Amino acid sequence: MKTKATLAKISCNNRLIRRHRLSPGPLALLLILAVIPSALLAADTFTSPFGQKFIPIPAGEFIMGTEDFDQLAKEVDAKRLQRLQKEGPAHKVTISRDFWLASTEVTQDLWYRIMGYQTGRSKRWERADWAQIPVSRVSWDAVQEFLEIINHMDDAYHYRLPTEAEWEYAARAGSRGLRPFAYDEMADYAWFRANSGDKPMPVASLKPNAWGLYDMIGNVWEWVSDSYDFEYYSVSPALDPKGPEPSIRKVMRGGSYHCTPERVRVAIRGSYVQQRSLSVLGFRLAAEKK
Residues 24 and 80 in one domain: no
Residues 91 and 49 in one domain: yes
Residues 19 and 95 in one domain: no
Residues 203 and 225 in one domain: yes
Strands (E), 6-84: 46-47, 53-57, 60-64
Nearest Cα to 34, choosing from 168, 172, 167, 166? Answer: 172
CA-CA-CA-CA dihedral for 231, 165, 180, 63, to nearest 10: 70
Give the per-residue pLDDT at 43.
61
Q: Does a cis peptide bond (omega within 30 degrees of 0) precede residue 200? A: no
Nearest Cα to 220, choosing from 152, 278, 289, 288? Answer: 278
Give the per-residue pLDDT at 223.
98
Domain count, the chain: 2
Residue range 209-252, pLDDT digits in tens: 999 999 999 999 999 999 999 999 999 999 999 999 999 999 99
Domain containing 18 equals 1-43
Q: What is the pTM of this model?
A: 0.85
Residues 120 and 30 in one domain: no
- What DSSP character marks residue 23? P
Cα–Cα distance for residue pair 21/43, rounded to 1 Å: 29
**pLDDT at residue 9 tops 80:** no
Residues 66 and 164 in one domain: yes
Residues 154 and 179 in one domain: yes
Give the per-residue pLDDT at 83.
85
Q: What angle do CA 157, 164, 138 make, to 5 degrees?
A: 75
Residues paired with 134 in a beta bridge: 107
Give the per-residue pLDDT at 197.
97
**pLDDT at residue 170 tops 90:** yes
Residues 75 and 118 in one domain: yes
Is residue 206 within 8 Å of residue 190, measured between CB atoms? yes
